[in-house]
Amino acid sequence: QIQNVDGSGQSLYSGTVPLQLTQSGSTYQLKDPTRGNTYTTDLNNATDSLGCQLFGFNCKTGTLFTSPDTSFGNGATSSRESAAVDAQYGTNVTWDYYKSTFGRNGIFGNGTGSYNRVHYGKNYVNAFWDGTKMTYGDGDGVNYGPLVSLDVAGHEMSHGVTENTANLTYSGESGGLNEATSDIFGTMVEFYANNTNDAGDYLIGEEFDLKNHTGLRRMDNPASDGSSLNCWTSGAGNADVHYSSGIGNHFFYLLAEGSGAKTIGGVAHNSPTCNGSAVTGIGRTAAAAIWYRALTVYMTSSTNYAGARTATLNAARDLYGAGSAQQSTVAAAWSAVSVN
């Protein structure tokens, strides 16, 4: 007998969170019938074979998390279930963000869910979307904890949204735009959750950054990490996509929040412009709506930064009108990151 049961979980980074479970006899499965049956499994520190890594062949599915009661995890890594709670919650919030904000029915847009695998490998400091499912490492336990934070969950699953829409090629400038899209919507997912334990900010991965709490990247001033680009240059397409994404991240931050100093989610943010201009932000909701429409209507697999400028100007015109403040701020924010 299978039914939808309300449960709860104690996560690593987001406190106690609601979960929707599937009951099977006297056990409860970490499987959500209200969101396309999205579920989470334990890989028990196994890694995939090379055949899976290269061709997606014979990938490990892991063991579905189950419990004799409706509560999962204890909020610490001492319970294998805790990271699973974060992963499941991350898919829930990402699902709800896309549904309620854009009417998008899941990552694939057709109501189909996906699944999460946690505890991948040993000391694995990464997480990835492979086209069908999410996989999370536990981090090295010294510098990084399990990579199951809301912004990274939203980041990875947004790779799936990109794949099923603009399908931006994952190299060169289009690869930077692909990565920026994931940082943008991962961050919007974090804000959407409105979780007191993981307040929204423009840092990526701060929750599992055990030492510095600043994360892997930041959108207000990407170049402050010493590798990411704040401003477009003709060599941008040669940079690693996680660095050329800085241009798109910086654009989005300026568009949403504006230049200058600001405290967001308890974190000091400060965004310099590349041309010395001052930009006044139009807010996160409008900025995200413009990027989503640009991604799903105007961008293609080969869109570069110049093309992204045109795509977002078109999207802003569609949503807010030609000559609107939103559209002119899109132009100003691109110019402020040297995309003219």
CB 147, min distance to Zn ion, A: 12
Cα distance between residue 148 and residue 140, in whole Å: 13
Residues labelled as active-site residues: 156, 242
| Residues 151/190, Cβ–Cβ less than 8 Å | yes
The binding site for ligand ASN (CB under 6 A) comprises 126-128, 156, 159, 179
Interface characters, 119-148, with Zn ion (x: CB under 5 A): ------------------------------
- Residue 169 Cβ vs ligand ASN, minimum distance, rounded to whole Å: 13
**Residue 169 interacting entry, from ligand ASN, Zn ion, Ca ion, none, C-beta within 5 to 8 Å by type:** none
Which residue, 11 or 338, has its beta carbon nearer to Ca ion?
Answer: 11
309 binds, among Ca ion, ligand ASN, Zn ion, none (CB under 5 to 8 A by kind): none
Q: Which helix (H) or strand (E) holds 63?
A: strand 63-64
Rounded Cα–Cα distance for residues 21 and 129 (Å):
23
Buried b (16+ CB within 10 A) or exposed e, 46-62: eebeeeeeeeeeebbeb
Q: Which residue is nearest to ligand ASN (CB)?
A: 128
Pairing of strands 71-72, 2-10: parallel
CA–CA separation, 162 and 168 (whole Å): 7
Task: Using CB under 5 A, pick the residue from 182, 221, 230, 271 that binds Zn ion.
Answer: 182
CB of 170 to ligand ASN, least distance (A): 8
Cα–Cα distance list, 204 to 6, 23, 186 (Å): 30, 35, 8
Does 162 help bind Zn ion (rule: CB under 5 A)?
A: no
E strand or H helix at 290, and its extent? helix 284-293
Q: Mark residues 186-215: x for contact with Ca ion by CB under 5 A, - for none.
A: ----x----------x-x------------
Residues 5-44 that bind Ca ion (CB under 5 A): none
Site for Ca ion, rule CB under 5 A: 151, 190, 201, 203
